[in-house]
Structure 1
Amino acid sequence: MSDLFGGAPAATSPQAPPRDAPLADRLRPRSLAEVVGQDHLTGPEGTIGRMVAAGRLSSMILWGPPGTGKTTLARLLADAVAMRFAPISAVFSGVADLKAAFAAARDAALAGQRTLLFVDEIHRFNRAQQDGFLPYVEDGTVTLVGATTENPSFALNAALLSRAQVLILRRLDEAALAELLVRAEALAGAPLPLTEDARAALIASADGDGRFLLNQVETLQGISIAEPLDPAGLAALLHRRMPVYDKDREGHYNLISALHKALRGSDPQAALYYLARMLVAGEQPLYVLRRLVRFASEDVGLADPQALVQCLAAKDAYEFLGSPEGELAIVQACLYLATAPKSNAAYKAQKAAWRSAKETGSLMPPANILNAPTKLMKEIGYGKGYSYDHDTDEGFSGDNYWPEDMTPQTFYAPVDRGFEHKIRERLAYWDGLREQRAGA
């Protein structure tokens, strides 16, 4: 059994995994030089690089998203400085396990061997358990390397944080993930059956998680694929399709579609006809109201911000009066929507923004607009240089609020109708200020 909680010293040299091991294990780096995406830590000028060069490690917390190599780094660190590697998991361990690990580390120290105690998911230990590490870290019995996906400022004791450096692992970028693909193909001795676009889509789907990417690759390599997959074929293969919705009430959907399109076409007479068809046939009035509320946001939007208010007021009126008196409020909302100026700019903006959010994954906002309630967060630059818009003459700073690795996008483009005409002018004014300040 492996040295999980103590006992015989764990081997420091990474052992080759069996051929039937998961791909992520078979591709696990054998040296720090093979680690991808963390050059800011492992390079010659990085904190880990400098520690290894000096031959001495200090206790540290590895903070980063899943699949970025925290466990691998800990193993390689122990090997690089010839330390005994003793891993435990906060998910499966308790006080007795910690005591056993510390006792084994003390015995190893008497034999002249230092111990790197790796604690995975360290944030899952409660405050009292975290305090239990302190004396053994202070007296050098162990060098603690903790791994966490949670913000250490909130998840770990201040006393423990004061005795360990917090090292931030970055989500794997496109280049790092592409390198993992190349290694997986080299190990398999064959390229993945993907077009270039599908290859890019596969990388994007990993959202910076190397383990997830390799699991997807392993699935592809285990399937016989005759022709290279395009992005659509890749998505169909790797993701479950949504079940088909049961459309056995075709007339119901035909009428609501007709009502929606008559409203969009600004035809109040036809809209009233289809509304009447539905209510006379026994359709639930609250269902119709839900569709009108949706239409107010999707097809009227900020061209007339009162449209949504009118629909919600109609819902309140119907619930207060009931049928048939309350149905007049539904008619009023229907007529308001049909005669209102139309804009789907908000709807299109939502679609574009959601699509961009899925494509860009977990990019961090710029540090200057991040909240910094703790000392650690301030030290790493959170909130530094933030411009408070109200302090400017125009109430507008013109700062860049986009992630560093993302160019600014335009999702919302107001139309030149109704209230959105004024919004359009306002946005143009701000764009002009932004350009002036960028030029200055």
Structure 2
Amino acid sequence: MSNDPLATYLEALARDDCYRVHRVLKASAHETTEVVFFMGANDAALGPFVRKRISGEVPLGSAYGLIMEAQRAGRRFRHLPRIYDVHERDGDLVVVMEFVGGRTLRDLVYEQDASPALACAVFPALCDGAIELHEAFAPPLIHRDLKPSNIIVSDGGLTIIDFGIARSFREGAGADTTHFGTRSYAPPEQFGYGQTDVRSDVYALGMLLYYLVTERDPDAQVATAGFTEPDVPSVLQPVLRRACAFDPAARFQTVRELRAAFMAAMAQQPGAAAVPAPAAAPSAHAQVPMAPETRGPAGTLLSHGGSALAPAASPPTSEAADAPTSKAPFGSGRVWTVRSVSAVIVCGLFALVSVLCAFGSSGDTATWPLGLRMLYFWPFGLLFFGGAACLWMGDSLFAKLFARFGLTTRARKRLAGWGLIVASSLILTAVVGLAESLGYPTSRG
């Protein structure tokens, strides 16, 4: 890059103007994350990519440049995304990187249910990703924000994302100068008790392991109590206690130690390997060819395969929409809970009664013709009580019933339930209005 500040600015300006924003993934005071396409001649597009704009007012994002330099020097990372470009514009840091398809760890656990088997499938690869950050860089890169939403799982493997607050370990520093992170997963030293180091990521990985076997975000009380909850396998409790110790000196000193302790513990857990792990290779980011780079206007990186720009398909509007149905069988007790069974039976009975009311109604609707009564009772009964069942039933059963339609998160469950209820109310109102217009008696007439 040129040392001329004006040339550097014009180069960054040309780079950014070549991208078309497809959608915004996240926007906050200090960072904006977008899905973008690189636009070439004749409206040809290359992508999708992820572009981050990190405010220059906060000392964040330095890890992206370090990862990009390592990748361009020939390092291959199985569990990190490919970083294509890092530059500054108007004092802000701009990062362009690989768009990693798949679903977050939070969605995966929601779909497949937390269990020791799922932990066996995911946790070793998660540790391997942290090991890449710690051992491929000198000094080590500390992620500092390992949490379910920053881990993407796909058929190609597992990828750790979002290195905005990652930092290099500084020998001799007393504490971090900036305190960021997610309280449920960040260690005490990340909030002023000392400098973060590799053991800080060990703490976060321990909390993620707890999440993988319970589907609950941890808190300080959980660690203080020693992870002695009934759904935490007894063989894992000492591993979790050591990984999440308040004092970093009492923790596993490296992620390799944590990984080895986890594998040894799970070897004693019957049936822990029931869920197959995601394929180890090739990972989603390993699919990017490593051929010599080609560059577009102002040196903007176009590809690593040397291929010409071509029209690209738009990315899915939601990674979770492509998630397959959970492997857990419908006969599993974790699916057919008391809550789910009650929802299906009660709402099903009410729906059935509503449908039958069309043939034996009383009151004003008794004078309506059969067709109008069917139009009144059937949509209301099926939609209203179907929506009620969606809201009432357990998350696991809902995810397994509707995963093929992309309805795999709690937010979509609520949206589907309330959507059906609102639709039933609108139809009910419309049918009553139709009956009134035809001269039939109604309760509001």
Normalised-by-shorter TM-score class:
under 0.3
Whose relative contact order is higher, 1 or 2, with alpha carbons under 8 Å and at least 6 apart? 2
TM-score w.r.t. length of structure 2: 0.24
Determine which structure has the larger strand proportion and give its number. Answer: 2
TM-score w.r.t. length of structure 1: 0.24
